[in-house]
Amino acid sequence: YAIWAFPEAGDTPADFFGRGFLPSSKNLDRFYLCRSLRVALADFKASSENRRILRKGEGFAFELVPRPQFDFTSARREFCLSYAAQKFGQEVMTPERLDNLMNSAITSHLMLFRETQTQREVGLVTMFLQPQLVAQYYYAFYDLDYAAQNLGMFMMTSAVNFFAEQKYERLYLGSCYSRNALYKTQFAGAEFFNGAFWSRDLDELKYLIARNEQPQTQHLFEAEEYLHRFHDGELGNAVARSLFEIG
């Protein structure tokens, strides 16, 4: 089953992000529970690897632009579609889907990246911001010719560093279900939603990813191995930390 959540009067997106949900509707009127991954920015401090990536991208600069001030030109549209076709495959990001992304509530701002020497635009990221609670790093598009400069990683690292400086509470980086997504955990303060609460135990995350690669006959919280390794053998320990209650 998929677990969905629908906002009621008085709810804000931060209420759902904080409980492990991510938007399943680009209008922010439906959310789904998942293995969300975020960075608690008060605990972020750039590591030597983070600093290396930032130094490697010293030839790039960025600006944060509110969506109403962003001119989604035909050139930018083609840039995004070309990247998506190369990165995700043809027809994964259709022109209609891209237009919807750029004109929906889930994109409140964009981070635009330029090569400083030429002022050529080389990347953009669609963002959702609820100051100062939530920043969501959503879709990133960039020039793959700059792979040697680690442009994609520079963009994400720049976002983490920038929103930490802006005193945002948390930056959400999507979900983490595969080994290929573990790069998102390289930031101090990284944590993931394990189905009950936010965890910073990266061994637990790697265990869950490996477990997903095998056929299973039990739900996660029924698995004795999981409970013994990460919850001292007691389901009640996970329940006590759960962010959910019926009331």
At residue 246, the pLDDT reads: 77
Say how many CA atoms lie within 13 Å of 232 toward its Cβ: 5
Residue 212 structure tokens: 């997903």
247: pLDDT strictly greater than 80: no
At residue 69, the pLDDT reads: 98
Other CB atoms within 10 A of residue 160 CB: 25
Angle, CA of 61, 63 and 66, to the nearest 5°: 165
CA 125/CA 113 separation, integer angstroms: 9
CATH of domain 4-241: 3.40.630.30
At residue 245, the pLDDT reads: 84
CA 230/CA 120 separation, integer angstroms: 48
The percentage of the chain sitting over the pLDDT mark of 90, rounded to a whole number, equals 95
88: pLDDT strictly greater than 90: no
CA 127/CA 136 separation, integer angstroms: 5
14: pLDDT strictly greater than 80: yes
Average pLDDT of the residues in 176-197: 98
CA 57/CA 66 separation, integer angstroms: 24
Residue 69 structure tokens: 């001030």
Backbone dihedral angles phi then psi of residue 214, each to the nearest 5 degrees: -120, 150
pLDDT (tens digit, 9 = 90+) per residue, 156-166? 999 999 999 99
At residue 92, the pLDDT reads: 86
pTM for the full predicted model = 0.96
Q: What dihedral do alpha carbons 227, 183, 27, 30 form, nearest 10°?
A: -10
pLDDT (tens digit, 9 = 90+) per residue, 32-72? 999 999 999 999 999 999 999 999 999 999 999 999 999 99
At residue 90, the pLDDT reads: 84
CA 28/CA 7 separation, integer angstroms: 8
179: pLDDT strictly greater than 80: yes
At residue 103, the pLDDT reads: 96
> Across all residues in the chain, what is the average pLDDT?
97
Q: Residue 181's pLDDT band (boundaries 50, 70, 90)?
A: very high
At residue 229, the pLDDT reads: 97
Q: In sequence order, which residues have a C-beta less than 8 Å from that of residue 158 and are 6 or more positions away? A: 54, 57, 62, 111, 113
Average pLDDT of the residues in 76-80: 97
Residue 93 structure tokens: 């990001």
153: pLDDT strictly greater than 80: yes
At residue 67, the pLDDT reads: 98
